[in-house]
Chain A
Amino acid sequence: DQQVKQNSPSLSVQEGRISILNCDYTNSMFDYFLWYKKYPAEGPTFLISISSIKDKNEDGRFTVFLNKSAKHLSLHIVPSQPGDSAVYFCAASEGSARQLTFGSGTQLTVLP
C-alpha cells in the first residue's frame, strides 16, 4: 500500500504558464515533505521542502503548499520553463526517522 501517491503520471504545460503537481499521503505521522526533480540518466536532486508546521514554502519560481487536513501537498512552478521538463518526485519523512518514502513520480513536459 503506497503511503505517498502521485496520481498523475504525466503533465504537459505551455511555457510561461503555471505547472501544478499534486501529491497525497496516507500516513498522518509524516511531518516533513520534500520534492525532488530528476532528469534522464541522472540522480534525483532536491528542489524544495516543507515542514508540517507550515502550509506554504516558496523558493523563487517554486512554491509548495501543504494541506494537512486533506493530507495533500502540491508543487507550483511559475512561470514554467522548458528546462523544468523532468520527473518530479514527492517524498515524506516521519519524525526522527531518516528514511524518505517516495511517490511514483510525475513526468512534467513544458512545451515551448
Chain B
Amino acid sequence: DAGITQSPRHKVTETGTPVTLRCHQTENHRYMYWYRQDPGHGLRLIHYSYGVKDTDKGEVSDGYSVSRSKTEDFLLTLESATSSQTSVYFCAISDFDSYGYTFGSGTRLTVV
C-alpha cells in the first residue's frame, strides 16, 4: 500500500534464531501497530506505538519486542523464534484524526 511498506515480504527462519521485521511509513502518522493473523483468530495486536520511543504491549506480546527510534520506522523483533510464531504479520498506521488503520501488505514468516 502506498505510504506503508513491510520488509521482508517472506522469511523462513530456524527455531531459536532472532528475527526482525521492519515497517516503514511515509505518512508521518503518529500511531503504528503490529498484528499477527492466524486462522481462527483473525488479527491480534502484538505491540503498538503512539510516538517515537513510546510503545506498549498488545494482546499477544510474549516473545516479541519492538522499537521505534524514528517516526517512520517500527521494528518488530522475535527474540528467539518458535514454531508458534509462524504467522502472517501486518503493520498498520493511523493518525489522531482517524479511527481507521492503513495496513501494509504483510510479512509471511515461517519458523522451521
Contact = CB atoms under 8 A, between A and B. Distances in A.
Chain B binding surface, main DSSP class = strand
B105 A99 contact: no
A34 B40 CA distance: 19
Interface residues of A, number: 24
A42 B105 contact: yes
Given A44-B103, A49-B99, A102 B44 contact: yes
A68 B79 CA distance: 42
Contacts, number: 56
Nearest to A34: B100
Interface string A32-54: 10101000011111100100000
B99 A32 contact: yes
Interface string B75-112: 00000000000000010101010011111111000000
Interface residues of B, number: 25
A98 B90 CA distance: 16
Interface of A: 4, 6, 9, 32, 34, 36, 41-46, 49, 89, 91, 93, 98-105
Given A34-B99, A103-B42, 11 more contacts: A43-B1, A43-B103, A44-B90, A44-B101, A46-B100, A49-B100, A98-B48, A99-B58, A100-B101, A102-B44, A104-B41
